[in-house]
Every structure is written in structure tokens, then in C-alpha cells.
Chains A and B, each alone.
Chain A
Amino acid sequence: MHLAYPAVLAVLLFCTGLYGVLARRNAILVLMSVELMLNAVNLNLVAFDVWLRDALHAGQALTLFTIAIAAAEIGIGLAIVLMVYRNRGTSDIDKLRDNAETAGPDDAGPDEKAEATA
């Protein structure tokens, strides 16, 4: 089998996940997209492991580890999302803007109003 097939598939899956992370509004959907990206990486690891015929099978071992870590990550992530939801009543990422730079008192920027209300 050509190595290009799994490699290209991994790239496309990764970019799909990338799009999801950047475009989705719901935090849980963002987590799903993160899972897609992780799986793309896993696919790469397995394909290259098989291609290289690694004696230690480092690729597959790392895949297993990644899966375990992803499970832990999804657990923690969901816990965080739940807590945010409980505290804020929403899990929309673009509503969590506490770190936004608010207009200072001496600021004379033309669009500060619009920015503050956004």
C-alpha cells in the first residue's frame, strides 16, 4: 500500500478537526474536533510504524498512550465545560470573553463603545 494514502487521509482529517476547533461555537463540539485531530495523528503514527517496521513498535505504543491520554483529556475537558456551564449558564466559547481588553478611562478610541458591547 502506498504510504501516501494514510498520510493524506491523516492530513485531511487533521484539517477537518482544525476547522472544527476554529469554527464551532459549542465547547463540546470543539472537544469533538480535537478528538478528530488526535485521531489523525494516531493514524499517522500507525501508518509510519507499519511502514518502518519498527522493532520496538514505537508508533503503535505511542498510539495507545495517545488514546489513553485523550480519554483523560476528554474527561477533564468535559468537567471544565460542565463547571463553566454551571457557573455561566452557557458553554459557548465566544461568550467567554473575560480576558477582553476593555476600554480604559482615558481612552479616546473611536470604536470603544462597539467593542465594549460586543
Chain B
Amino acid sequence: MSLAAAQGFLSPTGVEIAFLLVGIATLGAAVVTVTTKQLVHAALWLVVALGGLAVEYLLLTAEFVAWVQVLIYVGSVVVLLLFGLMLTKAPIGRSPDADSGNRPAALVVALAAAAALVWVVVDAFRTAWIDLDGPAQGSTKVSGTILFRHWVLPFEALSVLLLAALVGAIVLSRKDRTTDREGQR
């Protein structure tokens, strides 16, 4: 922490430069995700943003989280979203009504929230310094150790949650006979 005073913002280290560049790319991809008129493109831009985040995790020495991010988010969630788009017959190409009429309000709220949060965060952590030296803190070994030594009970509970979600999703999306007949009417 005492190092923070010595490290100014005007003399970034190599890691910081990399983080900054990847962060800009990630943010850009996220902005495009929420603003693009093409729905499928939005999902693909989301892949970019999530992948950028995985790189940021790596830069923060959290290897395991980074790989999980890639596997789960980029691998499965985005695929799920694409399936969802497909199943709801989302239009391919530009759809002019991708944004609702709530957009100005959303913009105001988002900008106000961003301004307030950035101000608060910068004000609070201006001098905080992350020491990335030493052994990696998020290696697979470390993560596995703490996960199965200290966090095993929440881990097991989470598996039950996942099971419940699985069952719930099946029940919800199953084509019921009666609803099916009503749907085809």
C-alpha cells in the first residue's frame, strides 16, 4: 500500500497499460452490445466484452476465474442467448425498434449513476495500489484448495441450486399438452 504514493498515474507500468487497453476494448464492446440495432451482433459483441473481461482477470493474476469465465460465459451463456434469439425468431439484420421509448430516461439514469459512482470510487481508491508480485493468487491450485477447504458447503448448496434451476427451466420450457393445443389454435 505504501507503494501507491510512489506510483503516480502518469507513469503507468506495463501491466497497467495492457489493462487499460483491454479495458477500453471491453468497454467499447459492451457499449456496442447495448446500442447495436442488430440483435445477433449484440450477442457477438457480448462475446468480445466477456472475453476482454477474462483477459482482465488474467492480468489480475486470477487465472482460474479467467478460464471459468471463458468456459461458462463465452462458451455456454452466449450460446444459450443465441439459441434464445433464434427460438424467439429475432429478426436478422437491423431492427429499428431495438430500443424502447424509455431510452432517454435510461441514458440519464445510467450517466448519473456512472458519474456518481466514478466520482466516489476514484475519490475513495485514488491511492490504493495492488501488488501483483509474488505467487499468483488465483492459480487453479490455490482456487481448488480454498474452494474445497473453506467453501465446500456453499459449493454443495450451489449444486442444489443448479439442479433446481435445471428442473425449473425444463418445466418452464416444456411444451405442455394443454397449452400446446391452445397455442396452436
Contact = CB atoms under 8 A, between A and B. Distances in A.
Interface of A: 1-9, 11-29, 31-33, 35-36, 39, 42-43, 46-47, 49-51, 53, 56-57, 60-61, 63-65, 67-76, 78-83, 85-87, 91-94
Interface of B is mostly: helix
A16 B110 contact: yes
B147 interface: yes
Contact of B100 (A24, A72, A73, A74): A24
A21, A24, A31: most-surrounded residue (chain B CB, <10 A): A24
A27 to B, nearest CB: 8
Interface of B: 4, 7, 9, 13, 15-16, 19-20, 23, 26-27, 30-31, 33-34, 39, 42-43, 46, 49-50, 53, 56-57, 59-62, 64-65, 68-69, 72-73, 76-77, 80-81, 83-85, 87-88, 90, 97-103, 105-107, 109-111, 113-114, 117-118, 121-122, 125-126, 128-132, 137-138, 142-143, 146-147, 150-151, 154-155, 158, 161-162, 165-166, 168-170, 172-173, 175, 179, 183
B40 to A, nearest CB: 10
Contacts of A65: 154-155, 158
B34 A16 contact: yes
A62 B131 CA distance: 21
Nearest to B143: A60
A23 B104 CA distance: 8
B128 A46 contact: no
Contacts of B101: 94
Given A3-B129, A87-B183, A19 B100 contact: no
